[in-house]
Chains A and B, each alone.
Chain A
Amino acid sequence: DAGVTQSPTHLIKTRGQQVTLRCSPKSGHDTVSWYQQALGQGPQFIFQYYEEEERQRGNFPDRFSGHQFPNYSSELNVNALLLGDSALYLCASSPGPGDREQYFGPGTRLTVT
């Protein structure tokens, strides 16, 4: 049973560019959440998707957007990249929006230069 998978593993972008990160949830899970983990910090909640809609959002600007596909996989898009967007981006999945146990993927390391 595959767990949560994310791609790519690492990414280097330039300020002002746009980036798309991808996540496939654990088998049987239909809810995907995205987190940003800056170096030396705990993960910060970006948003959650369920039934292809954004259900909850943390304190992140509109430059951060997402999408969920019918197969429950998800994308995180970040526009107009800033140096401060450099972080580990974690995807987490759960069996439903009301289920409080989340399984995390290995993350995508984004470096903005």
Chain B
Amino acid sequence: GNSVTQMEGPVTLSEEAFLTINCTYTATGYPSLFWYVQYPGEGLQLLLKATKADDKGSNKGFEATYRKETTSFHLEKGSVQVSDSAVYFCALSPYTGNQFYFGTGTSLTVIP
């Protein structure tokens, strides 16, 4: 079946610290992988995506590389800001069908 396992939070970092949020997946076929961000009281916003093995998605200083051999899609950012405080969701969309499978989310708080 399809599933996403995400690093549990909450995560608290000081401003300018390095961020890693781990995500591993199980999927049949060749899924696309996504990171979504959810700010308080809002819906989900697409942060970045990768559609095939070894692709690197990047946006707003965040990066994630699609690793087929380790079935992982870890999110990284070199220097976090207070404005990055949010909940981050890893998700996959299988090769067949358009249904998304989400992880449980990782809450990030960045303190000045």
Contact = CB atoms under 8 A, between A and B. Distances in A.
A94 B99 CA distance: 11
B98 A43 contact: no
Given A101-B46, A104-B36, A104-B45, A56 B89 contact: no
B36 A100 contact: no
Q: How large is the interface on B (under 10, 10 to 19, 20 to 34, 35 or more residues)?
A: 20 to 34
Contacts of A66: none
A102 B63 CA distance: 19
B42 A31 contact: no
Given A100-B32, A104-B36, A90 B44 contact: yes
B72 interface: no
Contact of B98 (A97, A106, A107): A97
A106 B99 contact: no
Nearest to A33: B98
Contact of A42 (B42, B46, B102): B102
Interface residues of A, number: 28
Interface string A84-103: 00000010101001111111
Nearest to B105: A42
Given A100-B93, A104-B36, A105-B43, A43 B100 contact: yes
B102 A43 contact: yes
A100 B51 contact: yes
A56 B97 contact: yes
B58 interface: no
Interface in A15-32: 31
Contacts of B42: 106-107
B99 A58 contact: yes
A31 to B, nearest CB: 7
Contacts of A41: 104-105
Interface of B: 4, 6, 32, 36, 42-46, 49, 51, 89, 91, 93, 97-105
5 contacts: A41-B105, A42-B4, A42-B103, A100-B51, A107-B43
